[in-house]
Amino acid sequence: MRQTMPVRLGAAEDTLIAQLKSVGADATAERITVAGLPTRRVESYHYTDLKTLLRAIPPLAQAANEASAPALRVPGAYQLMIANGVIQSASTAPAGVIVGKAAGGVLTTRDDVLVHLNGAFAKESLTLTLESSVDPVIQIDRRSEGEAAHVADSLKVFVADGASAVILETFSGSNAAHVGNHATYMALGKNAVVTHITVDLSPRAAAHFASNEYHIGEGAKLRTLVIHAGAGLSRTQLFPRYEGAGAHGDITGLNLVVDGQHADITMDASHAVPHTSSQPLFKSVARGRGKAVVQGKLVVARDAQKTDAKFMHQGLMLSDEAEILSKPELEIYADDVVCGHGSTCGKLDEDSMFYLTSRGIPKEQAETMLVRGFIEELVDPIEDEALAEALHGIVDGWLLGK
């Protein structure tokens, strides 16, 4: 028998183990006891060493009795709220939407600590069945309220064949050192068209974790946009799986970090069948000593011929101390595919700055215009005007240091 050295556990791990045992998740508790939180030696956490970054876990969330102001309002949107993991009652759903609840978490098991933890702690999940095309934007407002809390929640969305929808998830709450662990499972039927936007607007003191699993059927089109613009530590994991011919994903994301923030978008995509395509495009803008990470893995199965997938990460450094890290990974088992990856990283273009300022535009405003221009490619495809405007508002707010 091989002896393994037990890892030294920190305060965060001790709390997690106790919390896991308290909800009867002994297997997950055992995993943490043996392995601890992932360090940089774990490949998928190489740039986001949770053992170092996550020092404390607050108590498990209790039902909230008050809610802070909404972090993002989109006029005309249909709103649903989950506060401290508890699904709140909602107004009448728009045509084509069936709202329900199910027990437990939603993610398919995989070898990932955040996925395990969500599965262990999410008590109930909000389910949405979209039977046809839904007009209003559907907003799921996920809150962490009150004293610092460890919040887990989950959402499951079924999109019927031929249906279309725009789904916005916002993450916010009271100003406390919350740890949020959120999960979304989304299945797109044949030819469904979905835009899924997730925006982290948590307070700086919080840690925000989200794992989004997508199953994209034949001819279905998914556009995602992850925006990290809140928590001090954030990581969104994207697991798109292209499961039918013609399935396509425009998987996009944006890290906005300032001094002391760490934001990570990690995609692990699976092209499982022939004739699917994806265009993952991520951008990071970093100020001060901010740190932004984008990891993108494309796995192409043996018989997934004619896969067309290109991963791209573009970074913009607004200071010399900022750090922007990229890790593309291709794992290709088919032989007739077009796959690639690229990344660029630079500062604001000096000639562009001079051009704008030479017209009388003050330096700060010119910077804002150029950063907005850098990001525009991600917001531009969002067709709903009120939503696009709200997203521009977030970017502008970040730029102006709000």
Partner 1 sequence: MTTPILEIRNLHARIEEREILKGVNLTIPAGQVHAIMGRNGSGKSTLSYVLAGKEDYEITEGEILLNGENILEMDPAERAVAGIFLAFQYPIEIPGVATMTFLKAAMNAQRKARGESELSTPDFMRAVKEAGAQLNIDSDMLKRPLNVGFSGGEKKRAEILQMALLKPALCVLDETDSGLDIDALQVVSKGVNALRDANRSMLVITHYQRLLNHIVPDVVHVFSDGRIVESGDKDLALQLEAKGYADFDATAA
Name the amino acid, one letter, at 60.
Answer: L
- Print the binding letters for residues 293-332 with partner 1: x by CB under 8 A, - otherwise: ----------------------------------------
Q: Indicate whether 388 belongs to the interface with partner 1 (CB under 8 A).
A: no
Q: Give the span between the Cα atoms of 248 and 241, in whole angstroms.
A: 10
Which residue, 285 or 298, has its beta carbon nearer to partner 1? 285
Which residue, 286 or 316, has its beta carbon nearer to partner 1? 316
Q: Indicate whether 72 belongs to the interface with partner 1 (CB under 8 A).
A: no
Give the number of C-alpha atoms closer than 13 A to the C-alpha of residue 388, restricted to the C-beta side: 12
- Whose tokens are 């709390």? That residue is 15
DSSP assignment of 229-297 equals -S-SEEEEEEEEEE-STT-EEEEEEEEEE-TT-EEEEEEEEEE-SSS-EE--EEEEEE-TT-EEEEEEE
Q: Indicate whether 352 belongs to the interface with partner 1 (CB under 8 A).
A: yes
Taking the complex as a whole, how short is the minimal distance between the CB of residue 235 and partner 1, in angstroms?
27
Q: Indicate whether 354 belongs to the interface with partner 1 (CB under 8 A).
A: yes
- Whose tokens are 């027990």? That residue is 103
Residue of the chain from 66, 109, 350, 401 that contacts partner 1 (CB under 8 A): 350
Instruction: Please enumerate in sequence order all residues whose Cβ is within 8 A of that of 365, keeping only pairs 6 or more positions apart, or say none.
Output: none
Q: Indicate whether 2 belongs to the interface with partner 1 (CB under 8 A).
A: no
Q: Give the span between the Cα atoms of 304 and 366, in whole angstroms.
A: 46
**Binding region for partner 1 (CB under 8 A) out of 28-36, 120-128, 260-268, 344-352:** 344-352
Q: Indicate whether 355 belongs to the interface with partner 1 (CB under 8 A).
A: yes
Size of the site for partner 1 (CB under 8 A): 24
**Binding region for partner 1 (CB under 8 A) out of 2-10, 28-36, 111-119, 355-363:** 355-363
Q: In what order do the strands lie in the sheet with 233-242?
A: 97-103, 124-130, 150-159, 179-188, 207-216, 233-242, 262-271, 291-300, 323-332
Q: Which chain residues interact with partner 1 by CB under 8 A?
A: 349-352, 354-363, 365-366, 369-370, 372-377
